[in-house]
A and B are shown apart, each in its own frame.
Chain A
């Protein structure tokens, strides 16, 4: 690094130097955490632009599609078609299934058409996901609306106390963005190493985890595929790992899952020194 990167992916741009501190809990290894797990029994919500149920990368794993309608009495959650307005939700779903092939995906569409990414639709979708009892939710979007701050704060607290893991893409722009800045969510930024299993824990939040988010081959609209870069594509890698852990260890709290991820992260440190020993 000749000069510092300006925003929050910085720690993951050069993990060898930035992420020396790491927690290792004896016995908490990747094999213990998710060895043999497939994600079976875990329902993962994708709050995004929809899911294209028949996309080859989604392999028939979508079990429900809903969207938010904003009427005069406020937002309501209604059934949605098996489509994706941009391809972005499908991309996230495909990444999660790449790690946890047997999770069930639930599409909660809050983007596209009349919604235009309205914060209230986002909040209503998240509210629904919590009430529905989904174990994991991927949020590769965020709201900048100050007025929604207390609403998202309440929602993330409620998710946390109900044991639901909210995995949120950090914003590349260092400006307030909710709920990715709340401490209870799994906030994720991108690293550039092309390995879906490579995970970094950042001991200096607000961004807590780094996952692959540069030149990621992704599913896209109308059965297509492309190559993409963004924190949006890092978050689903972590959502996939969380789903694996919960499938093997049902009922763990978000706090416990975070501690496990920190323990098995690829941060250089003790494990690196140990690996160097003969």
Chain B
């Protein structure tokens, strides 16, 4: 990182990283909201007792139930299961959709996990959330009220909901994961960079992002997020005020973010 070209590139990366992080902050937890709407719709359409989405997380490897819906769904949120166990684990590992009936009669069914949620189902259907790299999670439906089993059509519909969820996750993750975004862009525009160089540049660009969440800058971003309900006139007024303040900051030669 010696010549001017690299400096300019780094400045662009820093700006991109900051924008991405601000965007994430402003839009709130899009992923959870979208996923919640998908499990809500799943429960409704299947007339099921519960539906949930578990996403794969690393260190340690686990499937974490992020959202749930239905009368018996709430207990699942926050629960984690190893990706090597149970129906969710199997569907995650194989990428194959699967439905089982009579699971409550089967003591070998991953009963511990089911009991932690306070609800032991009789039947369960699960579909993988598949993106272009592999399985990112699992969508589960427990106990259709109208039928003891799941039909072929149910499985196809479940797959449709699963692909909706995957799209939601993919779009939200691009925002969420600034590091990954920068890394993939760098590798694409500069394929000759080796892994170490890429990491160094990403590190340099995002170094300032992880500092104190309570800094005035981030508090400001949070305030702006809350201002989305303003009328157009109020927004215009606020923009004028901010413009004056920002110009003042620039005149004083303090570019970039203010903070401790």
Which residues on the A side are within 8 Å of B101 (C-beta)?
Answer: 215, 226-229
From A6, A85, A112, give the contact of B156 (CB < 8 A).
A6
From B95, B152, B155, give the contact of A141 (CB < 8 A).
B95
Interface residues of B in 160-185 (CB under 8 A from A): 160, 162-163
Write the nearest CB–CB distance from A14 to chain B, whole angstroms.
Answer: 10
Contact A227 B162 (CB under 8 A): no
Contact B152 A116 (CB under 8 A): no
A238 contacts partner chain B, Cβ-Cβ < 8 Å = no
Per-residue CB contact flags for chain B residues 96-107 toward chain A (1 = under 8 Å, else 0) read 111111110011
Write the nearest CB–CB distance from B127 to chain A, whole angstroms.
Answer: 7
From A111, A214, A227, give the contact of B93 (CB < 8 A).
A111
B51 contacts partner chain A, Cβ-Cβ < 8 Å = no
For chain B, the count of residues having a C-beta within 8 Å of the partner chain is 43
- Give complex CA distance A169, B128 in Å: 14
B93 nearest CB neighbor, chain A only: A117
Known: A6-B157, A226-B101. A214 touches B95 (CB 8 A): no
B117 contacts partner chain A, Cβ-Cβ < 8 Å = no
Contact A232 B98 (CB under 8 A): yes
Which residues on the A side are within 8 Å of B95 (C-beta)?
Answer: 117, 141-144, 171, 177
B87 nearest CB neighbor, chain A only: A86
Which residues on the B side are within 8 Å of A237 (C-beta)?
Answer: none
Contact B84 A112 (CB under 8 A): yes
- Give complex CA distance A190, B96 in Å: 12
B105 nearest CB neighbor, chain A only: A226
A141 nearest CB neighbor, chain B only: B94
- Give complex CA distance A85, B117 in Å: 23
Contact B155 A224 (CB under 8 A): no
A73 contacts partner chain B, Cβ-Cβ < 8 Å = no
Known: A49-B90, A144-B132, A173-B128. A9 touches B99 (CB 8 A): no
Which residues on the A side are within 8 Å of B130 (C-beta)?
Answer: 144, 171, 173, 175, 177
Contact B133 A144 (CB under 8 A): yes
Contact B100 A214 (CB under 8 A): no
Which residues on the B side are within 8 Å of A275 (C-beta)?
Answer: none
Known: A9-B155, A144-B95, A215-B149. A227 touches B132 (CB 8 A): no
Interface residues of A in 195-243 (CB under 8 A from B): 213-215, 220-222, 224, 226-232
Which residues on the B side are within 8 Å of A144 (C-beta)?
Answer: 95, 130-135
B154 nearest CB neighbor, chain A only: A229
Q: By CB atoms of chain A within 10 A, which of B83, B90, B154 has the most?
A: B90
Known: A7-B159, A113-B84, A144-B135. A232 touches B108 (CB 8 A): no
Per-residue CB contact flags for chain A residues 148-183 toward chain B (1 = under 8 Å, else 0) read 000000000000000000000101111111000000
Write the nearest CB–CB distance from B181 to chain A, whole angstroms.
Answer: 20
For chain A, the count of residues having a C-beta within 8 Å of the partner chain is 51
Write the nearest CB–CB distance from B174 to chain A, whole angstroms.
Answer: 18
A146 nearest CB neighbor, chain B only: B132
- Give complex CA distance A87, B110 in Å: 12
Known: A145-B133, A226-B101, A230-B98. A173 touches B163 (CB 8 A): yes
A192 contacts partner chain B, Cβ-Cβ < 8 Å = yes
Contact A145 B97 (CB under 8 A): no
Contact A116 B84 (CB under 8 A): yes
B150 contacts partner chain A, Cβ-Cβ < 8 Å = yes
Write the nearest CB–CB distance from B53 to chain A, whole angstroms.
Answer: 15
Across the A-B interface, the 9 shortest Cβ-Cβ residue pairs: A117-B93, A229-B99, A227-B101, A172-B97, A141-B94, A230-B98, A172-B159, A86-B90, A221-B108
Which positions in B face A, CB cutoff 8 Å?
A: 61, 83-84, 89-90, 92-103, 106-108, 125, 127-128, 130-135, 149-160, 162-163
30 contacts between A and B (CB under 8 A): A10-B156, A86-B90, A87-B108, A88-B94, A113-B84, A117-B94, A117-B135, A141-B96, A144-B95, A144-B131, A144-B133, A144-B134, A144-B135, A145-B134, A171-B95, A171-B130, A172-B96, A172-B97, A174-B159, A175-B130, A214-B149, A227-B101, A227-B149, A229-B98, A229-B149, A229-B150, A229-B152, A230-B97, A230-B98, A231-B97
Other A-B pairs, 14, CB within 8 Å; known A228-B98, A229-B149: A6-B159, A7-B160, A112-B84, A113-B84, A117-B93, A117-B135, A171-B97, A172-B156, A174-B159, A214-B152, A215-B101, A226-B106, A227-B100, A231-B97
